Amino acid sequence: IGEDSAAFELGKQKLVSWVYFGVVLGVVLFILNVVWIDNSTGFGKSFIDAVSNISGSPEVAMLMLILIFAIVHSGLASLRDIGEKLIGERAFRVLFAGISLPLAMSTIVYFINHRYDGSQLWQLQGVPGVHEAIWVANFVSFFFLYPSTFNLLEVAAVDKPKMHLWETGIMRITRHPQMVGQIVWCLAHTLWIGNTVAASASLGLIAHHLFGAWNGDRRLAKRYGEDFESIKKRTSVIPFAAIFEGRQVLPEDYYKEFVRLPYLAITALTVGAYFAHPLMQGASFRLHW
């Protein structure tokens, strides 16, 4: 009933679409820099300062940034059906991304710059084996975090965006992989940093994704009806629960659903992001958010 996730056929790709994607990405990044990132022209610093001045507490500011992002992101997602009917799928995707992206970036940059500002709750960074365990947990989390963004052409509205009903790959393990991946990421980073800012960030992000899981099921049920209910019976929110209960039977060649270019790309990007941590930290610090 559902779609095959992470399917990618090189023969069906059009070079002009990927050229268009590159142009769109460049234009978006340029506008984002001028309107939001550059402190001399953008509103990003003013936004961060306004939120930070509410209480002067980095923990409260962190929660407020996540709350603002969550309201906007989930609110627009809930209005997707209405919005697409009014202005079309591509225009609504541009609106959705254009509002969500600056807020997400502000939240991430603030977390990077203020991750050690809170009160220390524990210190495990010098304990043997902890770094390796955290690294593995973060690596695994990214395989859960991005099952619905494999088609980058849809993300950039080059292809017409769709609300997908995935059923294979990571979806067999959990129906809400992004929620699971975010929880794993949050727990790993909170364990590593061990302070109140990390704990507040994790609290906000996990709460947002728990709501997103409920809201996602509601929206899929509304759009797909019985088809979604059939997939819901064969899947679970809790990882591996449907498999253990016998509601989801894995095919013998299940591994083939992961031996695909999108998962290889995620592997490369995840490893690259780890080594790029100093660059991300340096770029965030220079913004003084």
9 pLDDT exceeds 90? no
6 or 10, greater pLDDT: 6
CA distances (Å), origin 102, targets 5, 12, 109, 141: 28, 33, 10, 23
Contacting residues for 110 by C-beta, under 8 A, at least 6 apart: 48, 61, 62, 65, 289
pLDDT score at 150: 67
Q: What is the DSSP string of 3-55?
A: B-TT---GGG--HHHHHHHHHHHHHHHHHHIIIII-TTT-SHHHHHHHHHTTT
Span 244-262, average pLDDT: 92
Span 48-70, average pLDDT: 95
129 pLDDT exceeds 80? yes
CA distances (Å), origin 237, targets 177, 210, 212, 214, 242: 8, 10, 12, 10, 9
259 or 72, greater pLDDT: 72
Both structure tokens of 254: 């299940």
pLDDT score at 286: 93
pLDDT score at 148: 57
pLDDT score at 147: 61
pLDDT score at 246: 94
- State pLDDT tens for residues 141-194: 998 987 655 677 888 888 888 888 999 999 999 999 999 999 999 999 999 999
Per the prediction, the chain carries an average pLDDT of 92
265 pLDDT exceeds 70? yes
pLDDT score at 152: 78
Query: Using an 8 Å Cβ cutoff, are 237 and 174 in contact?
Result: yes
pLDDT score at 12: 81
